[in-house]
Amino acid sequence: MHQNHKKDIVLVARNAQKAKQTFKDIEVREASYDSESAMTKALSGIDRVLFISSQPGGKVPRLVQHQNVVNALTTNHVSFVVYTSFPHADESENFLAQDHRGTEQAIVSAKLSHAFLRNNWYLENETSFLQAAASDASAYYWADKKVGWALEREYAEAAANVLANGAEREIYELYGPSINFATLGETVKSTFNASSTIQQVSESEYTSQLEKNGLDHDTALMVTSFQTPIDDGSLAHPSDDLPQLLGHDVTPLSEALKEIIR
């Protein structure tokens, strides 16, 4: 990013003081998706918006949060919105897709010019698995279908490109190389010359293993559920949209692993 372009960027964050420590040269406005009025004020005078989906499970339901944002975008006559969605959100039966499908529909209903970037899984989601596989420990997983893992920064770069340059179409399905946990684990072992064991266990055994590692039961169940979209095949639909938006190939897996495991 060129220095003289930073004045054109506004960051909306829940904690402005914390955000300013990281983004020193960018204007920061404080607002939460929980408040439509705060979002409406924060987006005043804004032309294009990267709308990053929130996490589910907050005090305000995620779809309500997202509708607050859509209302704020509409009130401010924002010219273009890029929304980070879920793979095949319009037809996926996975529980995580529901809020994304509702948000996409809200954006369409509001007649906002838009692009939907349906992100596959971040490779960083698997950091604990990767660290175990890179050591002489055992790395466990329970879901064996394929995933389109890529680095979070590459999804972000693709989003920035669409936000800056516009979109040639409405929907992009963003995937890295399509592999499963077994292949991911073996790649880690070869990259770091590790003697770890890559082991598939049952869903219940996976939860038990997390509890043995110190997680309470509810947290262990939640972490276990992160592999449900893998198990039901939601993440197993390859696409070359991500390298097309990047203008180059995604980072080779061995190099991406070295970024995460230092």
* Banded model confidence at residue 6, pLDDT cuts 50, 70, 90: low
Closest to 65 in 3D by CA, of 14, 116, 121: 14
What distances in angstroms separate CA 130 from CA 7, 74, 125, 223, one per listed residue? 38, 42, 10, 15
Q: Phi-psi bin for 202: left (phi > 0), alpha (psi -120 to 50), beta? A: beta
What pTM value is reported for the model? 0.93
**Dist CA 84 CA 54 (whole Å):** 10
What was the pLDDT predicted at 24? 87
Amino acid at position 35, single letter = S
**Dist CA 93 CA 89 (whole Å):** 8
Tens digit of each residue's pLDDT (9 = 90 or more) over 182-226: 999 999 999 999 999 999 999 999 999 999 999 999 999 999 999
On the question of pLDDT at 4 being above 50, the answer is no
Amino acid at position 226, single letter = F
- From first CA to last CA, the distance across the chain in angstroms is 25
**Dist CA 148 CA 161 (whole Å):** 20
Tens digit of each residue's pLDDT (9 = 90 or more) over 62-93: 999 999 999 999 999 999 999 999 999 999 99
Give the SS3 label for residue 198.
strand
The answer to whether the Cα torsion of 173, 49, 170, 61 is positive or negative is positive
On the question of pLDDT at 22 being above 50, the answer is yes
Tens digit of each residue's pLDDT (9 = 90 or more) over 37-62: 999 999 999 999 999 999 988 899 99
On the question of pLDDT at 3 being above 70, the answer is no
Q: Where does residue 231 rank: exposed (0-12), middle (13-18), buried (19+ CB within 10 A)? A: middle
